[in-house]
């Protein structure tokens, strides 16, 4: 297997994964094909939906076809000429508690039927396991990994190493490090399905990023069971490259109609809010009147079209540098997703470190949830760690941000500065969402390439005030002069500046006469 990355945004990436039966473009969704029940035929998935890689269950194939599958190969059994990934049956353990299967026999079968990507028979932790059981699943999965790797005979199959530990992040981190040290071509996060079914997306953020922080970026990360399209953008932004889903078929059985923003019930639909080939050739009323099996087929096809369309939308967002915005848009679909988006604050430094530093397009800032986006975190970090004011600067002149950018060219800023060019005065702007912006660098990306909702919300104002305080504390100015803008910024920045100046022995003053409202020359202080 060969893995190559071509484009990145946040932690998401576009790349290629070469297997013996073809090339997969990541991020990629493997539609899961049940050999016994196929509402959408594998051939149709490839030829009409243009998806060249699917997943099936090795345990079920073995039980249903046995030696026939060994003789024909899984590609012929499923009538699919593309890439076939094979799960081992571990999900059945999660569902039924146990299965009668031997890890080495399952692995041998996956080799015999010539899967392109194969998974060892691991032991899923699940979402509600106690710690003792979770520890056992990690240990047992690692043991099975070593046994399976030692027994393999084919060199043309990409093997998947599942990471276990569930919500016990220390166990998950250890499992990720141990599995990453073994010769697996792909790593996978195990046990997330039940977490996602319960809409515990903040827990999923913890699990994915804990795994991501403990594996090399040179290996693809597979998220097992990521079925609903409204969470694909977030999963990719967190660094997941591959997904598998049977949800398109499972949801169809209960009459549920997927959209990129949520799930609808077919019985309640008067119009199809979609332009896929299924929805443009059928009417809800007539679909409801069909026999159950036919209705399921139609719904399954629509659901799969929507899933594949969302993956393409995510790819385009990566190319345009808009993955964060797409993730934020999808997060508005459900409170649990928005809660997960806010959870990213805990991991903002890691995300910033591994995100691209420049993009082809500017940044959209909608509100305080965007304070964790890499561009904002990166600027604040660089101002704190890498920036020093001009050598002769003694007076910090803090100006409110203007509507025009770059700030140093705006009429408001020019009016505030007047003709003052004294080297002792260093002019900076306090601006949402970045905090402090020195005028001499205000045209550096993304400071002048950001569009935002104005006036900023309360949380953003507080965050900017904190950034101003950090900047004043760090730098050796004697005097801080603030040009206030109370209508937009209120009194918080004024009060915080007063406080930090008092604590650090700096003189503080407002640059407007309290009676006339006119600007005062900073050199008079």
Q: Which pLDDT score is estimated for 360?
A: 85
Are 323 and 441 contained in the same domain?
no
Q: Which pLDDT score is estimated for 403?
A: 86
Are 376 and 516 contained in the same domain?
yes
Are 173 and 321 contained in the same domain?
yes
pTM of the model: 0.93
Parallel, antiparallel, or unpaired for β 507-510 and 479-482? parallel
3-state secondary structure of 188: strand
Instruction: For residue 168, give both structure tokens.
Output: 């016990």
Are 460 and 382 contained in the same domain?
yes
**Residue 225: inside a domain, yes or no?**
yes
Task: Measure the CA–CA gap between 431 and 410, rounded to whole angstroms.
Answer: 14
Contact 357, 378 (CB under 8 A): yes
Residue ending a domain, among 319, 348, 377, is: 348
**Residue 280: inside a domain, yes or no?**
no
pLDDT beneath 70, residues of the chain:
91-99, 418-420, 513-520, 525
**Residue 290: inside a domain, yes or no?**
no
Are 344 and 490 contained in the same domain?
no
In total, how many domains does the chain have?
2
Are 390 and 508 contained in the same domain?
yes
Task: Measure the CA–CA gap between 202 and 296, rounded to whole angstroms.
Answer: 32
CATH number at residue 409: 3.40.50.10630
**Residue 295: inside a domain, yes or no?**
no
Are 17 and 115 contained in the same domain?
yes
Give CA separation, 253 vs 92, 228, 246, 389, in Å: 19, 15, 11, 64
Instruction: For residue 424, give both structure tokens.
Output: 């002792």
Say how far residue 247 (Cα) sits from the centre of its chain: 20
Are 220 and 315 contained in the same domain?
yes
Nearest to 11 by CA among 211, 281, 256, 280: 211
Are 382 and 237 contained in the same domain?
no
Task: Measure the CA–CA gap between 433 and 375, rounded to whole angstroms.
Answer: 10
The percent helix, strand, coil of the chain (3-state, each to 5) is 45, 20, 35
Are 27 and 145 contained in the same domain?
yes
CATH number at residue 78: 3.20.20.105
What is the biggest distance separating any 2 CA atoms in the chain, rounded to whole angstroms? 93
**Residue 481: inside a domain, yes or no?**
yes
**Residue 299: inside a domain, yes or no?**
no
**Residue 273: inside a domain, yes or no?**
no
Helix 103-112 vs helix 131-151: crossing angle, to nearest 10:
40
Are 336 and 411 contained in the same domain?
no
Residue ending a domain, among 348, 374, 404, is: 348
Catalytic residues: 87
**Residue 262: inside a domain, yes or no?**
no
Are 339 and 422 contained in the same domain?
no
Residues, the chain: 525
Domain ranges, residue 401:
363-524
């Amino acid at each position: 297997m060969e893995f190559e990355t071509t484009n990145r945004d946040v932690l998401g990436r576009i790349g290629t994964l070469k297997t013996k039966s073809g090339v997969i473009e990541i991020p990629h969704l493997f539609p899961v094909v049940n050999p016994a029940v196929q509402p959408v035929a594998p051939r149709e998935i490839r030829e009409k939906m243009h998806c060249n890689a699917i997943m099936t269950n090795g345990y079920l194939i073995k039980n249903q076809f046995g030696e026939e599958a060994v003789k024909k190969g899984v590609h012929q059994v499923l009538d699919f000429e593309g890439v076939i990934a094979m799960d081992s049956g571990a999900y059945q353990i999660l569902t039924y508690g146990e299965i009668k299967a031997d890890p080495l026999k399952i692995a041998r079968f996956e080799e015999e039927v010539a899967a392109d990507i194969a998974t060892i028979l691991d032991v899923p932790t699940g979402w509600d396991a106690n710690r003792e059981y979770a520890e056992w699943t990690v240990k047992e999965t690692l043991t099975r990994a070593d046994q399976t790797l030692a027994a393999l005979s084919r060199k043309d199959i990409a093997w998947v190493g599942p990471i276990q530990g569930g919500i016990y992040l220390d166990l998950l981190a250890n499992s990720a490090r141990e599995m990453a040290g073994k010769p697996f071509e792909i790593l996978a996060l195990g046990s997330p399905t039940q977490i996602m079914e319960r809409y515990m997306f903040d827990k999923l953020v913890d699990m994915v990023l804990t795994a991501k922080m403990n594996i090399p970026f040179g290996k693809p990360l597979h998220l097992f069971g990521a079925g609903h399209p409204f969470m694909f953008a977030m999963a990719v932004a967190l660094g997941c490259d591959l997904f598998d889903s049977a949800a398109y078929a499972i949801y169809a059985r209960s009459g549920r109609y997927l959209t990129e923003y949520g799930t609808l019930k077919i019985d309640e639909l008067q119009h199809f809010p979609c332009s896929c080939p299924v929805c443009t050739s059928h009417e809800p009323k007539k679909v409801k009147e069909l026999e159950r099996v036919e209705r399921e087929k139609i719904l399954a096809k629509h659901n799969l079209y929507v899933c594949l369309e969302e993956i393409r939308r995510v790819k385009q967002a990566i190319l345009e540098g808009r993955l964060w915005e797409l993730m934020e848009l999808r997060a508005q679909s459900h409170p649990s997703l928005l809660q997960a988006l806010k959870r990213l604050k805990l991991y903002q430094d890691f995300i910033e470190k591994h995100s691209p530093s420049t993009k082809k397009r500017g940044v959209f800032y909608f509100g305080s949830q965007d304070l964790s986006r890499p561009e904002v975190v990166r600027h604040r970090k660089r101002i704190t760690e890498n920036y020093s004011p001009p050598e002769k600067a003694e007076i910090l002149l803090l100006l409110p941000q203007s509507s025009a950018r770059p700030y140093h060219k705006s009429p408001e800023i020019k009016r505030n500065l007047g003709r003052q060019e004294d080297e002792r005065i260093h002019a900076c702007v306090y601006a949402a969402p970045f905090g402090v912006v020195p005028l001499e660098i205000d045209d550096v990306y993304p400071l002048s390439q950001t569009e935002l909702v104005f006036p900023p919300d309360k949380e953003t104002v507080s965050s900017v005030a904190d950034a101003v305080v950090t900047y004043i504390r760090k730098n050796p100015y004697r005097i801080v002069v603030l040009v206030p803008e109370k209508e937009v910024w209120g009194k918080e920045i004024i009060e915080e500046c007063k406080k930090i100046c008092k604590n650090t022995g700096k003189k503080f003053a407002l640059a407007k006469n309290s009676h006339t409202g006119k600007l005062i020359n900073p050199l008079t202080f």
